[in-house]
Amino acid sequence: MHPQYLIIGQGIAGTLLSYEFWKQDRSFFLIDEPHNISKASLVAGAIINPINVNRWTTVHEHESYISTALQTYRDLEKDLGVSLIKEMSMLVFHGERQKELFKKARSYSSGYVHPPGREDIARVNRSFASKYDVVKVAPVWKIYAEQLLSAWSGFLKSKNLLKEEFFHADECVIAPGGVAFKEIRAEKIIFCEGAKAINNPLFKKLPFTRNRGEALLLSVPDLPGSYIYHYGIRLVPAAKDLWWCGSNYRWAFSDLSPDPGWRMQTEALLRQWLTVPFKVVDHVVAERPTTEGQQFLAGIHPAMPSAAIFNGLGTKGFLCGPLLAKALSKMLIDPHRTTSSTVKPLDKWLR
């Protein structure tokens, strides 16, 4: 087997990059762990939202990220024949401290932040305690992450472009002229491993930070599913009467077992915030591929041009990933002619 590109990992990074190669008629093969239920992409809320509601700031160059993301996910919907994206509004609740931050940011001028309308307020009053101020962020878009990864996996398998097995670095030979892994001979290898990249011998000098997050799956049958709700934690509609609730960050940890203390605190907050009944259906945990300063890591190894990485997408992965995948694919296809302000060189860490 002689693909141009060997991709390791099919989270959101590996999915988006392989889709770019497929659209550009480039040959590739993807290896992903079997039954990888701990993917951070599946624990994420998967929202395209240009507003950081904790600081009331907008994502840098958000218009370019949003336009590319919307086009990419709508193209994927057509190609895969599944629904993957839904436009929504997000109602953000805040107390006194958050209210002051909002006033200082003057975020109504962003074009995405609005005072709540009469219908918004009516819905809030039916389901939430009345002691909070509410701001509406719209539009935002929910991405159905599990359907996306599953449908793309199925498509790749139908084309014999995906194999589910554990990738072991010691079985792979990476040389300046190409890559050999078992029966595969490729021109380049791209690591989209998520949190496992911190142990990758080629890229271990990159500024990774270990971080785990967890989320609850809730049954809240009386909560209107036409909104996303945010108050420190976020409630995102997942399926009929089911809601994704999360998430937290933990920088010091020894395993990926669910934290009963965090669950108790979250349930207590929900009881203060919600006036409708809820029930916890599931509690999920995953390690996130995060970096110092939330830097995206997308580029070719400066000393080993046959190896590249696509990682560190973090909480904005579903927003920023499509534009980064497009820029990285162009760089990989033509590394001598392509320059991009989107993909930053890795030289300062890897030289």
Three-class SS state of 226: coil
CB atoms within 10 A of CB 281: 13
Separation CA 318–CA 54 (nearest Å): 18
Three-class SS state of 96: helix
Work out the average pLDDT over 42-48.
73
Under DSSP, the state recorded for 224 is: -
- Domain assignment present for residue 64? The answer is no
Separation CA 98–CA 84 (nearest Å): 32
By residue count, the chain amounts to: 351
The pLDDT confidence band at residue 340, using thresholds 50, 70 and 90, is low
Separation CA 336–CA 301 (nearest Å): 14
Long-range contacts, stretch 290-297, CB < 8 angstroms, 24+ apart: 290/208, 290/209, 290/210, 290/211, 290/314, 291/206, 291/207, 291/208, 291/209, 292/207, 292/208, 292/209, 293/207, 295/207, 295/344, 296/320, 296/324, 296/343, 296/344, 297/197, 297/203, 297/206, 297/346
Do 157 and 36 sit in the same domain of this protein? yes
- Domain assignment present for residue 58? The answer is no
Do 123 and 166 sit in the same domain of this protein? no
Under DSSP, the state recorded for 252 is: S
Task: Establish whether the linkage from the previous residue to 247 is cis, with ω within 30° of 0.
Answer: yes
Give bridge partners of residue 208 from the DSSP assignment.
291
Tokens of 296: 């995206």
- Domain assignment present for residue 133? The answer is yes
* Domain ranges, residue 10: 5-42+146-207+295-350
**Domain boundary pick from 269, 289, 309:** 289
Task: Establish whether the linkage from the previous residue to 50 is cis, with ω within 30° of 0.
Answer: no
- Domain assignment present for residue 62? The answer is no
Do 82 and 219 sit in the same domain of this protein? no
**Domain boundary pick from 108, 143, 178:** 143
CATH classification at residue 312: 3.50.50.60
- Domain assignment present for residue 66? The answer is no
Do 159 and 221 sit in the same domain of this protein? no
Work out the average pLDDT over 66-88.
96
Number of H helices, E strands in the chain: 9, 20
The pLDDT confidence band at residue 54, using thresholds 50, 70 and 90, is confident
* pLDDT over 70 at 110, yes or no: no
Tokens of 208: 């990774």
Tokens of 139: 């539009």
CATH classification at residue 268: 3.30.9.10
The pLDDT confidence band at residue 101, using thresholds 50, 70 and 90, is low
- Domain assignment present for residue 307? The answer is yes
- Domain assignment present for residue 328? The answer is yes
pLDDT of residue 108: 56
pLDDT of residue 28: 98
Do 272 and 311 sit in the same domain of this protein? no
The pLDDT confidence band at residue 344, using thresholds 50, 70 and 90, is confident
Do 263 and 213 sit in the same domain of this protein? yes
Q: Burial letters for 205-230: b for 16+ Cβ neighbours within 10 Å, e otherwise?
A: ebebeebbbbbbbbbbeebebebbbb
- Domain assignment present for residue 35? The answer is yes
Do 331 and 305 sit in the same domain of this protein? yes
How many domains, the chain?
A: 3
Tokens of 211: 């971080």
Q: Which helix (H) or strand (E) holds 119?
A: helix 118-127
**Token match 């398998």: residue?**
157
**Full-model pTM:** 0.91
Do 176 and 216 sit in the same domain of this protein? no
**Domain boundary pick from 113, 143, 173:** 143
